[in-house]
Structure 1
Amino acid sequence: MISLTSPIKTKAHGWPAGAKLAALCVSTVALFYVQNAAIHAVIFAGILTLYALPGRAFFMAGLRALRLLWPFIVVVAIWHLWTGEVALGAAVILRMMSAVALANLVTMTTLLSDMIDVVRTITRPLTRFGLRPNILELAIALVIRLTPVLVEKGSLLSQSWRARSCQPSGWRIILPFTVLALDDADQVAEALRARGGFDALEDI
């Protein structure tokens, strides 16, 4: 499985995956207890500083991940401008950006295999209730790996539309994007079946 770990090594690469994921959970929960937009701005600035410490390449890679949030930022901003709750909207947007930035920071500095090992350890006691941890592990790995692939394909579809039309793509690429996503899902399913399906994961 291809990992999304950054090839640019940082000190955080050597930290235990469990500790980083636990810190991420605690930090994300703490963000929801902060309501002041100014404090959120300071927190987000601090997170950007963490991105900048390893160098320009690492920083720009982090910003590219955050760029994917712009549709949600636009929707939240328009809604809160409409309702007149500008300060609340700013807090919501900054909270969302900080949470995603922290999650992406963990992803960039942690091997996918290490994160899967943490999930395996946490879910092992649930096997007595019929849960199959290997299926959950594979599902998490597929989501982490395929989400940026689908985002990239959506971006290429949008660029192709703009190259052929003066109108914005908007809803017009939803159908071809859905077809691409279903085709990818079908290929993954075929690959799993060719390797014995979920039962083959028991031997891993």
Structure 2
Amino acid sequence: MLTLTSPVDTAAHRLPAGVKLAALSLWTLLLFQLASPLPLTLALFAVAGVHLGLGGAAFAAHGARMVRPLWPFVLIVSLWHGWTGDLAGGAVVILRMLAAVAAANLVTMTTRLSDMVAVIERLARPLARLGLSPRRLALALALVVRFIPVMLDRMDRITDAWRARSPRPARWRVLVPATLAALDDADHAADALRARGGAD
């Protein structure tokens, strides 16, 4: 639960976490400078090419699976921009989102949680003057990064389990089991952190 690092070893695994996070920030800024579908499509292909070049087909397939939970957002944006008649604008939003999330997943797949926490903690040190604990803030942010794809995957599994047992659409009916699963995962994560000395 506390790690989504890919077991496929790549050269990116050996890069410092700070370098990868800085590159991700610059990449995201670049994506927001691109305002037409063609360069954003090329950017998305570039991220896919990096996945393939680093770890081959297995690594790229794992990266594609981590982007798959974005399909509801892709659907909503497509429907809205189709209704308003701004298909090019919708394509820009979707391509930018996919390229940014795929790059973020690449960093997540090749960076250990402890390394990510260390970088965020260093960046948050000035906040200690305001009474905020850099360690706790860093751990909270890192856990959010790790838990979001885990919870999206859990939602998919709960929805699949509902479909296997009922012909009716799942819709709101999966919210309660998904909430209970999230609380259970949070409880296990808290136990694991306490066993390792906590957040201090």
TM-score normalised over the length of structure 1 = 0.88
Match in the other structure for 1:169: 170
Match of 2:43 in 1: 43
Alignment match, 1:52: 52
Shift of 1:193: 9.3
Percent of counterpart pairs with the same letter? 47
Let me know the Cα RMSD of the aligned residues. 2.1
* Offset at residue 48 of structure 1 (A): 0.8
- Over alpha carbons, which structure has the higher Rg? 1
Is 1:201 the equivalent of 2:183?
no
Alignment-derived partner of residue 68 in structure 2: 67
Q: Secondary structure at the match of 1:201?
A: coil
The worse-fitting range, judged by mean Cα deviation, of 115-124 and 143-152 is 143-152
Q: 1:193 to 1:41 in 2, by over 3 A?
A: closer
Aligned residue number for residue 21 of structure 2: 21
| Count of aligned positions | 199
1:31-68 deviations in whole A, cap 9, x for unaligned?
Answer: 11211111111111111111111211101000001111
Q: What is aligned with 2:122?
A: 121
Amino acid at match of 1:73: V
Return the alpha-carbon distance in structure 2 between the equivalents of residues 109 and 196 of structure 1.
23
Give ranges in structure 2 of 5+ residues lacking alignment: none
1:93-151 per-position Cα deviation (integer Å, ceiling 9, x unaligned): 00000000010111111122111111111111221221101211221232233223322
Q: d(CA) in 2 for partners of 1:43 and 1:157?
A: 33
Deviation at 1:77, TM superposition (A): 0.3
SS at match of 2:177: helix
Give the CA deviation at 1:161.
Answer: 1.0
2:44 and 2:196 map into 1 onto residues whose CA distance is 45
Corresponding residue for residue 155 of structure 1: 156
The aligned counterpart of 1:181 is 182
- Give yes or no for contact 2:2–2:143 (8 Å, CA) kept in 1: no
Q: CA 1:79–1:124 in 2, change beyond 3 Å: closer, same or farther?
A: same
Distance 1:8 1:56 in 2: 11
Which blocks of at least 5 consecutive residues in structure 1 are unaligned?
none
Alpha-carbon offset, residue 201 of structure 1: 3.3
Q: In the alignment, is the contact (CA less than 8 A) between 2:124 and 2:134 conserved in 1?
A: yes
Stretch of structure 1 that moved more, 135-144 or 55-64:
135-144
Instruction: Report deviation, 1:153.
Output: 2.1
**Counterparts in 2 of 1:193 and 1:115: CA distance versus 1, 3 Å:** closer
Change (3 A) 1:34 1:160: same
- The one-character-per-residue Cα deviations of 1:160-190 (angstroms, maximum 9, x if unpaired) are 111112222122212221232234334545x
102-111 or 87-96: which moved more?
Answer: 102-111
Distance 1:67 1:129, change over 3 A: same
Residue identity in the other structure for 1:59: A
CA spacing shift, 1:36–1:180, aligned 2, 3 Å: same
Quick one: distance in 1 between partners of 2:109 and 2:189? 24
Distance in 1 separating the partners of 2:12 and 2:121: 22
